[in-house]
Chains A and B, each alone.
Chain A
Amino acid sequence: MNRSRRIILGALASLAAAPLLALFTTTDVAAQQQLDARVEIAWNRFYDFHEVEDILKRLAEAHPELLTLESIGKSEQGRDMWLMILNNPETGPHEEKPAMYIEGSVHGNEIQATETTLYSIWYLVTAYGQVKPLTDLVDRVAFYFVPVVNPDGRAAWFEGPATPHMYRSGLRPTDVDFDGRKDEDGPEDLTQTGSINVMWRVDPHGTHRRNPRDPRIIERVEPGEKGDLSFAGWEGVDRDGDGRRNEDPRGGYDMNRNWPSDWRPDHIQRGAGEFPFSYPETRSIGEFILGRPNIAAGQSYHNTGGMLLRGPGAAYRESVYPRSDIQVYDKLGRAGEEMLPFYNYWIIHADLYTVHGGFVNWLAEGLGIASFTNELWTDRRILQSGENPSAEQRMRWQDRVLFGQTFDEWQEYDHPELGPVIIGGGTKFSSRIPPPFMLEEECHRNFAFTMFHAMNMPELSFGWIEVARAAEGLWRITLEIENPRIIPTRMGIAAQNGIGLPDRMTVEGAEVVASGTMNHRFDRTMTPVPHRPHTIFNENGVPGEGRTTYRFFVRGEEGADVRLRYIAEKARDIEKTVTLREGVVE
């Protein structure tokens, strides 16, 4: 039960509205899990790009003590790349804290990734001061949120007709079919329903027919039987007259294949682009992340399939992941499976498909950041049984639970190239995304997993410290640095490949004559540091849920103070003053 009555002085000063203040400073309501929000946002609907911008601005204005909104670049079509920094400056600048980078919608059609990211910002700032674990988390770490990595794709999905699968790409015009023209033949909403549906051609030798019990369902005929329909692709005509339909739609690349680690050219990895960071969206994010070595955890929200994915993206990169890193991922991923019913903790290349140059692969393998991609929503949630619904069950769900809102009835259409066809089927909302009434749960459970991930970013403290007199005026200091969190200060992948800087344990304020690392406090001997003994470089960092042990021999008068510091890129640096006097330091 959370009964802490936390008062944030910095926030008080910045707030003028008294009723809001009253709500903010009491936690009685929090005990009922009813959080009072400064910004009311409905989490049972999706937001187009302008609405997303509006929500971000409202949040930043209502929570100036925690949120900073900035644009880190422009998309191909000139939309802002919004970055929200969540940090409590009262507990230190964000650059000095371990930070989690959270993004959504690098694929413009995977829309709920943005709502999940927005929900995370909203929930954190709303819970701050009302919910102790999240208040503690916000006071300890920083967050960088990019809710829309592909603003153009999202804008296009909302603005016009689309399938559930299109505008995955950004919108740089691209000649996908090598005819010298760009984006000249995409699908079209011939039936003016607001969605790009599918077309079935009337065909006396058809491979499919209508289901006799529910003629809206089109099913494959048994071998030997004759159908009357054949699949004719997405709704559209052959606009450039080359004999093919929809072969060169807008865009035509994949910004989740445009990152440096294991990047491969287009003929190996379709959609890779001409070089890593060749798109303004990926470049602005790449530059931002390269300048933030304090990022210790990463999450890139996608849809769909109900997966918590980790790298590697290709089989031959398995050896890049040391066993210690896999243990970290396993602990986090298995916790996530429990928090996210019907989700699977999987490995990208082994359980999904091979990805070269993927984003979380760059974070994990290029930068040593513990990272996941959550594939939001799974059809296994329709029946809430873990089973995928059959076609008929799905139709009943969309009739009875969704009241038919995601299905466009079949319409006969006289197609200029195909002759008589029927056009209809699922709308752009019909798959990959949850129905609005389930969106909030989807947001919350994924948010909760990601917070579990964030809470397990490294946190350092001094453990046992012993000062002993080695000789007259010579002191032996033995100390432990502890990290109770799951993620180490240096992922094994970083230590093995020399990514970033090693941790440093230093002693200041006294002459250090020798130092070394020990296996544990009872170790009889130490591995000495050959030069500059006041600094011990620690390539492997402090392990998760573990500790490291150091020993220094320093010269000094009894009663003199020395300063111990532990410096790590992905954890908050810690300092402690120790007096040269025999005993165990509390």
Chain B
Amino acid sequence: MLPASLLTLSAQTSTAQTSPNAALRDGYMDHDGLRARVRALAGSSAMCTLDTIGESREGRELFVLTLSDDHTQAHKRPALLITAGLDGRHWVGTETAVRVAERLLEHNGASLSEVTVYVIPRVNPDGTGRNFGPVNEGHIGTLRPVDLDRDGVANEDGPNDLNADGVITMMRLADPGLAHKPTHLPDPDEPRLMKTPDWAKGERATHALFIEGIDEDGDGRIAEDGAGGVDLDRNFMHLWPEYALDAGPHQLSEPESMALARFVIDRPNITMAITYGRHDNVVNVPDHRGRDINRRIPTGIDEGDKALFDELSKLFKETTGQKRAPKEDIAGSFHAWLYAQRAVTSVATVVWGRPDIDEKKPEGDDAKADEPVEAAPAADPNRVAGSWAGSIALPAMEGMGEMPDSLDATIELDTEDETTVSGSVVTMMGELSLRGEREPGATAFTLVGDMSGAPIVVEFNIGGDIMRAQIRGPFPGAATLDATRVGAAPGAPDAPRAARAKGGPSDAEEAAWLKYSDSRGGVGFVEWESFDHPQLGEVEIGGWVPGFKMNPPASELDDLAEKQADFAVALIERRPRLRVQGPEITRLGPGLYEVRLAIVNDGWLPTNTAMGEQARAMLPTVLRLTTPLEQIVSGQRVDRAWRIEGFGRHEAHWMLAVEDGAPIEIELLDDQLGDMLIAFSASETTTPTISPLPEERR
């Protein structure tokens, strides 16, 4: 249990109990609270040491806890890496990481004699700290100054907490006149939620939407250039989104991401990882068929790892009971880098998903929207069909103050016939309808949508074609979206997002969250209230409290962490374990011996993922025979096993021309599982000895 003094400390860091922000943050640790807690933890157990992997841009410590019963051996043992707090809004991750460390020390000390656990509870203390300040603005990334509106001045027009409630929400302006274009209307079925109009239903836009704030730089836009920042979970190497401002000027551009990458690269013993953050790959198993634009890198998981992830998913759901998780673009994310380029069995979880409120509905039904949608069969490259989704990043939009500086959105396109495409760009603010026709014989469409926008570049798949498109502006009114084909996607494209539920509020997911917020006394949603805006006149301020959809009530943290600790323990128990079987020596004749040896994996997990085997980023399991080459009649002097399946084995076989009784040694190298020296002699009755490989023979 947590010492009472620390609980008090956490409570003290919260602001006044009346603000929606305080209600949401209550019981969560700020940076000082985290420091006190990890120090206390390190002080409480000899099996836990506290270090830092580096500093944030503003000089805050990036803590790492190392759990091991022998800290001189910790880096030589197979390790599980637990990482959290890359996203400034994901406070539950940090809370869970620390609690899991506490529980592992308390209940699972025995396993720490064989396995090392590294826990990095908060990679982004600066961005998190910003949300723990006087105003929670839902800051995601680091605090690198970024000139988001590209006017030559950075950070000059951030959001403003106009109604002084401690959170940045939205502003809606009814009948905006000619200065601003109406884009939304209150959802007829849930007037607190805003939606874009459906012409077919006779709906008409009545409101303009803005982020809470004023236009401080006089460019007609509101809150378009706030505290900047680089999203750490878009700053890693795997599928890095090159031109997105929030992905950083280059990969690992941030001190935080660089420190984390260095930590991983310097510790090849890390074989498993769990990342608590906004990504998930265990409630919804990633697609195993998608490939990147170069056709060579999986956008989800490699086909050879499908069974592994299916089983991990089963194990995760059984252990944690979690059934719902959002789907996020993994481009540039940390956990995907671990998987795709570091050969790590990498699990990502949001820790907590939206709870069910409607008791009458069977749970399974409701969860359907989040289950992976059946991926379409391999596309015929000559046909444009289906409803495909991809991810796009929207930069700040000219003339619409309400757009966040960058966000992920999906573009959904439906083919009506061979020549006509219609679809929509769906953002958190609503959706933009698109319609276009293909010229005879062309694979490119020009889609015309109704939007006011600066240039937006999107890449997406249509019927297996990879399309690159640009929405051109800036000019209010109709913008054109020119799509050109840049290549064919091999196999099936990404699984499309679930179609929006029809009937009821236009966005069922948003409506369900609102219902959940209501059940908690409205903690997650600021009710619309009138405000006299100095520039816009009469507006209403209200909307989601940043972080609400990611973070449970603090009272649930212990319980969630218990389940996550169970999963971590389950993963540790299923780790790959190497054992030497043999050697078996057969004397073929005077001075000629046959040696058979197997390296057996007694663990459930493979020694390497199929992706890691392809990527060859890590040292394989190496068997080095010390017998000189000229005495090896057959077999490799250096033998490599790139991957040994769970409960599988790797067999080695040599014929050696050595004197009877000659000593034979095999140096076994494995960065993750430890090095061994296998010594025996050329004799059918030899008794092999297995000992740790001396450092100088590495």
A243 on the B face (CB < 8 A): yes
**Residue from the set B294, B620, B628 with the largest chain A CB neighbour count within 10 Å:** B294
Contact flag A263-B240 (CB < 8 Å), given A180-B622, A241-B637: yes
Asked if B616 and A267 make an inter-chain contact with CB atoms under 8 angstroms apart, the answer reads: yes
B261 on the A face (CB < 8 A): yes
Asked if B615 and A265 make an inter-chain contact with CB atoms under 8 angstroms apart, the answer reads: yes
Chain B nearest Cβ from A258, distance in angstroms: 11
Chain A nearest Cβ from B390, distance in angstroms: 15
Contact residues of B between 482 and 503, Cβ < 8 Å to A: 484, 486-487
Asked if B395 and A498 make an inter-chain contact with CB atoms under 8 angstroms apart, the answer reads: yes
Chain B nearest Cβ from A408, distance in angstroms: 29
Of A238, A260, A276, A499, which contacts B629 at CB under 8 A?
Answer: A238
Asked if A264 and B399 make an inter-chain contact with CB atoms under 8 angstroms apart, the answer reads: no
A178 on the B face (CB < 8 A): yes
The CA-CA distance from A267 to B343 in the complex, in Å, is 12
The CA-CA distance from A38 to B237 in the complex, in Å, is 48
The CA-CA distance from A501 to B251 in the complex, in Å, is 20
Determine the residue in chain A with the shortest Cβ distance to B248. Answer: A260
Determine the residue in chain A with the shortest Cβ distance to B242. Answer: A261
Chain B nearest Cβ from A540, distance in angstroms: 10
Contact residues of A between 526 and 540, Cβ < 8 Å to B: 527, 530-532, 537, 539
Asked if B294 and A502 make an inter-chain contact with CB atoms under 8 angstroms apart, the answer reads: no
The CA-CA distance from A261 to B250 in the complex, in Å, is 8
The CA-CA distance from A275 to B606 in the complex, in Å, is 26
Contact residues of A between 216 and 268, Cβ < 8 Å to B: 238, 241-243, 260-268
Asked if A275 and B251 make an inter-chain contact with CB atoms under 8 angstroms apart, the answer reads: yes
Asked if B297 and A242 make an inter-chain contact with CB atoms under 8 angstroms apart, the answer reads: no
The proximity string for A residues 162-181 relative to B, scoring 1 for CB distances below 8 Å and 0 otherwise, is 00000000000001011110
Tally inter-chain residue pairs, CB-CB below 8 A: 119
The CA-CA distance from A385 to B2 in the complex, in Å, is 84
Contact flag A501-B620 (CB < 8 Å), given A277-B250, A531-B220: no
Asked if B484 and A319 make an inter-chain contact with CB atoms under 8 angstroms apart, the answer reads: yes
Of A178, A504, A539, A567, which contacts B616 at CB under 8 A?
Answer: A178
Which chain B residues border A179 with CB–CB below 8 Å? 622, 624, 638, 640
B669 on the A face (CB < 8 A): yes
A383 on the B face (CB < 8 A): no
A274 on the B face (CB < 8 A): yes
Determine the residue in chain B with the shortest Cβ distance to A290. Answer: B249
Asked if A498 and B245 make an inter-chain contact with CB atoms under 8 angstroms apart, the answer reads: yes
Contact residues of B between 245 and 264, Cβ < 8 Å to A: 245, 249-252, 261
Of B294, B468, B617, B620, which contacts A319 at CB under 8 A?
Answer: B468
Determine the residue in chain B with the shortest Cβ distance to A530. Answer: B220
Asked if B614 and A267 make an inter-chain contact with CB atoms under 8 angstroms apart, the answer reads: yes
Asked if A242 and B637 make an inter-chain contact with CB atoms under 8 angstroms apart, the answer reads: yes
Which chain A residues border B218 with CB–CB below 8 Å? 531-532
Asked if B242 and A496 make an inter-chain contact with CB atoms under 8 angstroms apart, the answer reads: no
Asked if B615 and A267 make an inter-chain contact with CB atoms under 8 angstroms apart, the answer reads: yes
Report 22 cross-chain contacts, Cβ distance below 8 Å, ordered by A residue.
A179-B622, A180-B667, A180-B698, A243-B637, A243-B638, A260-B251, A265-B297, A266-B617, A267-B616, A267-B617, A268-B294, A290-B250, A314-B294, A497-B457, A498-B395, A498-B455, A501-B152, A502-B150, A504-B152, A530-B220, A531-B220, A537-B150
The CA-CA distance from A327 to B293 in the complex, in Å, is 26
The CA-CA distance from A414 to B549 in the complex, in Å, is 75
B647 on the A face (CB < 8 A): no
Chain A nearest Cβ from B232, distance in angstroms: 14
Asked if B249 and A242 make an inter-chain contact with CB atoms under 8 angstroms apart, the answer reads: no
The CA-CA distance from A290 to B640 in the complex, in Å, is 42
B155 on the A face (CB < 8 A): no
Which chain A residues border B640 with CB–CB below 8 Å? 178-179
Determine the residue in chain A with the shortest Cβ distance to B236. Answer: A275
Which chain B residues border A316 with CB–CB below 8 Å? 293-294, 466, 486-487
A366 on the B face (CB < 8 A): yes
Asked if A527 and B475 make an inter-chain contact with CB atoms under 8 angstroms apart, the answer reads: yes
Which chain A residues border B296 with CB–CB below 8 Å? 268
Which chain A residues border B243 with CB–CB below 8 Å? 497-499
B147 on the A face (CB < 8 A): yes
B111 on the A face (CB < 8 A): no
Which chain A residues border B217 with CB–CB below 8 Å? 532
Determine the residue in chain A with the shortest Cβ distance to B626. Answer: A241
Cβ-closest 3 pairs across A and B:
A531-B220, A260-B250, A319-B486
The proximity string for A residues 528-554 relative to B, scoring 1 for CB distances below 8 Å and 0 otherwise, is 001110000101000000000000000
Contact residues of B between 294 and 343, Cβ < 8 Å to A: 294, 296-297, 340-341
Of B240, B242, B261, B615, which contacts A266 at CB under 8 A?
Answer: B615
Which chain A residues border B340 with CB–CB below 8 Å? 265
The CA-CA distance from A444 to B682 in the complex, in Å, is 68
Determine the residue in chain A with the shortest Cβ distance to B612. Answer: A267
Determine the residue in chain B with the shortest Cβ distance to A261. Answer: B242
The CA-CA distance from A497 to B395 in the complex, in Å, is 10
A286 on the B face (CB < 8 A): yes
B265 on the A face (CB < 8 A): yes
Which chain A residues border B399 with CB–CB below 8 Å? 530
Contact residues of A between 300 and 323, Cβ < 8 Å to B: 314-316, 318-319
Determine the residue in chain B with the shortest Cβ distance to A244. Answer: B638
Contact flag A276-B219 (CB < 8 Å), given A179-B622, A316-B293, A316-B294: no
Asked if B250 and A286 make an inter-chain contact with CB atoms under 8 angstroms apart, the answer reads: yes
Chain A nearest Cβ from B340, distance in angstroms: 7
The CA-CA distance from A501 to B615 in the complex, in Å, is 37
Determine the residue in chain B with the shortest Cβ distance to A362. Answer: B250
Of B219, B265, B297, B476, which contacts A532 at CB under 8 A?
Answer: B219
Which chain B residues border A504 with CB–CB below 8 Å? 152
The CA-CA distance from A527 to B472 in the complex, in Å, is 15
Asked if A496 and B457 make an inter-chain contact with CB atoms under 8 angstroms apart, the answer reads: yes
Contact residues of B between 427 and 476, Cβ < 8 Å to A: 455, 457, 466, 468, 470, 475-476
Which chain A residues border B468 with CB–CB below 8 Å? 319
Which chain A residues border B252 with CB–CB below 8 Å? 275-277
